[in-house]
Amino acid sequence: MRLIFLGAPGVGKGTQADLIAAKFGRPKISTGDILREAVRNKTPMGVQAKACMDQGQLVPDSVVVGIVKDKLAEPSCSKGFLLDGFPRTVPQAEELAAMLKARGLQLDRVINVSVPREDIVRRLTGRRSCPKCQAVFHVEFTPPKKAGICDRCGSELMQRSDDKRETVENRLAVYEGQTAPLIAYYRQRGLLSDIDGSGKVEQVQQRVVELMATNGLA
């Protein structure tokens, strides 16, 4: 099982990747999680990544590709993996294809999760995060019991810089200009399947599982 979850920021592809990874016992490789950890730890790579993320720009390919290459080499990925947030550009997709080809492997399916743009903006700008325990809430959909306070540890919640409206709009523009061409890239190769990301998490998960079953992956 070698899958890619593709889609604009805020469509819920990370949530679906987490659920499918847990359901089928395969590791999820999320470049977003890895980069945020580097930012928290203020590593040289993290400092470089933060400058890009704060402006809604993509992190340089050289940084992202190196991270993914190291992960794919780990024993935990020998029976398959789910990629979330990578590749983001056609050159990254070509790098991934080369990595897999060198090991005699290939992708099974690319799942493209889509949600209307106005819903994406609503989802992202309403997110609030805990800087201490990393818990995530939403002012409308999953609000904390006490406004502005983390349910888990009692810390004050904050809106991440990349969840502010101006940055969200910029992130979507970057996606549409640089990442959306991946849809055509993978469709041309017969690997792309579209999934409606609207509705409840459980409903979207059912659509994903049914798609995987149709393609002999579940």
- Once rounded to an integer, what is the mean pLDDT over residues 104-115? 93
Known active-site residue 26: no
d(CA 137, CA 150): 8
- Residue 24 tokens read as 């089928």
Predicted model pTM:
0.78
In three-state form (DSSP H/G/I as H, E/B as E, the rest C), the secondary structure along 75-124 is: HHHCCCEEEECCCCCHHHHHHHHHHHHHCCCCCCEEEEEECCHHHHHHHH
- Residue 129's DSSP bridge partners are 136, 158
Percent of the chain scored above 70 by pLDDT?
Answer: 100
CA atoms within 13 A on the CB side of 56: 20
Most confident of 11-15, 46-50, 57-61: 11-15
Mean pLDDT taken over the chain: 89
Does 2 participate in catalysis according to the annotation?
no
pLDDT value, residue 71: 79
Given the residues 122, 160, 164, 187, select the one marked as catalytic. Answer: 160
Q: Which of the following is catalytic: 36, 50, 71, 127? A: 127
pLDDT band at 174 (very low <50, low <70, confident <90, very high): confident
pLDDT of residue 197: 94
- Out of 3.40.50.300, 3.40.710.10, 3.20.20.140, 2.60.120.260, the CATH code matching 2-196 is 3.40.50.300
Tell me how far apart the alpha carbons of residues 210 and 196 are, in angstroms, rounded to a whole number.
13
Q: Which of 71, 109, 128, 171 is catalytic?
A: 171
Give the domain ranges of the chain. Answer: 2-196
CA 37/CA 24 separation, integer angstroms? 25
Q: Which residues of 31-60 are buried (b: 16+ CB within 10 A; e: fewer)?
A: beebbbebbeeeeebbebbbebbeebbbbe
Rounded mean pLDDT, 114-132: 93
